[in-house]
A and B are shown apart, each in its own frame.
Chain A
Amino acid sequence: MKKGRIFGIFAALAALVSAPAMAQNGQSVALNGDVMVVKTINEDGAEPRTELVEPDLVVPGDRLLFRTNYENTSAELVENFVVTNPLSSAVQLAPDTSGDQVVSVDGGKNFGALSALTVTEESGTVRSALASDVTHLRWTLASLEPGESGQITFYAIVR
């Protein structure tokens, strides 16, 4: 029991020693993404329900769930953690996305809440940005404690 705790302390020390090397390799945080198809199941006499299935078959109109898992794998505090996700031109952000989602509608030049952004049409008229205008999504976390992990997700529709 006592021996085990000593080993634990040594392990923590080792982590502290190796942390600067990890940081130099840009490995303080691990990002790992996947995608699922949101399939709507309609059964007689039941409310339609959705389930996530592997994306073996994807056609226009399908709703996709993009997930990115993050984890601070270092022993250091990570600050100003900003995840930016360019959106494939083959999909559009789901129209039911929150207006508070921080996005870009100009190829990543400017970011802001979707509900606060505008788009200038070729004719010169300015209108509110739509989910279908979004080119990039962004999430910002002030800090990640060592070992802290989480998941960010968004829904998109195949154009």
Chain B
Amino acid sequence: MKNARRTYSVLTAALAVPFFATPVLAGGVPAGTLIENTAKATYDAGDGPETIDSNTVVLRVDELLDVAVASLNAGPVATSSGGAVLTYSVTNTGNGPEAFTLTVNPAVGGNDFDPTVDGIAVDTNGNGVYDPGVDDILTSPETTEILDPDEALTVFVLLSVPPAAVDEDEAQVDLLAEAVTGTGTPGTTFAGAGVDGGDAIVGPDGADDNALGTIIVGITTVDLVKSAIVRDPFGGTSVVPGSVIQYTIRADVTGSGSVDDLLITDPIPTDTTYVLTSLTLDSGALTDAADGDAGEASDAAGITVDLGTVNGGTSHSITFDVTVDQ
């Protein structure tokens, strides 16, 4: 009876070993994890129930070196001016903490032009968007901080487009990440270089990975053409006191990209006076006041029309009238 109770308590202790769910990691159980195994036996010998434990075998999980790089841009990134930013993720898919060396190759075969690499930045504030002055620019040799297993880092590649590039030119840019511990064919082992002095072994993907991002040049130009029609008080076209001059400003936007915040301003010429409520945009009237519509006009400040974002291949026409002062 006493023996039986002891058996029961031993089994209870065995069951009470904390059984916790292993976190599901892409790279498997963390490097340094100890795998312990002990078998227990219960049986009836001549004197009643007995229990016995086997020896405990202990294995330490070694470090697998693996990394995944992906482009985070949904498609080609349009660049209208001289600079562009491509966004990538670098994910530690191994099972131990590891840093990765980053290398950018802007001279990918088939490129219409090769962009200039201005730097590699990491998303320090974690908002997914490159913030100049906030996100740290890596210094050579560009190396990430140590990433925990499954930890992903957003990386920005800062590029500039050479002047020779023309509208609609495309260029691919390759970002390569290599495990600092080492790379090589899968199975290559770095003795003692893993977690807790264990070994590090190159994973199935070679401990390095790369991904391509694409920029496309959208050079967009704005041409402004101003013309004037004069009607004098006598039915002619002479500029005399009392003549009305109608100015037309045509904004032609050309190219594959778009321009943002296109603002057209024009002062009222000296010795003329703005004709109230004469401002129009694409034949539609605009009020003179600074209000909800795109335009405002006054004798002192001249005319201002905010066209906002304008796509290449479109034109806008602005007109306003002035009278020649007496």
Contacts and interface: CB of A to CB of B under 8 A. Distances in A.
Interface residues of B, number: 45
Contact of A26 (B38, B50, B55): B50
Given A23-B47, A33-B54, A159-B22, A68 B39 contact: yes
A90 B31 CA distance: 11
B29 A90 contact: yes
Contacts of A109: 15
Interface string B50-62: 1111111101111
A76 B64 CA distance: 49
B61 A28 contact: no
A82 B22 CA distance: 27
Given A26-B50, A90-B61, A159-B22, A33 B37 contact: yes
A138 B172 CA distance: 58
A80 B43 contact: yes
Contacts of A144: 43
Interface in B26-43: 27-29, 33-43
Interface in A54-99: 55-61, 64, 66, 68, 70, 74, 76-91
Given A74-B45, A78-B45, A83-B39, A23 B15 contact: no
Contact of B57 (A29, A34, A83): A34
A146 to B, nearest CB: 11
Interface of A: 19-20, 23-24, 26-35, 55-61, 64, 66, 68, 70, 74, 76-91, 107-109, 135, 144, 152, 158-159
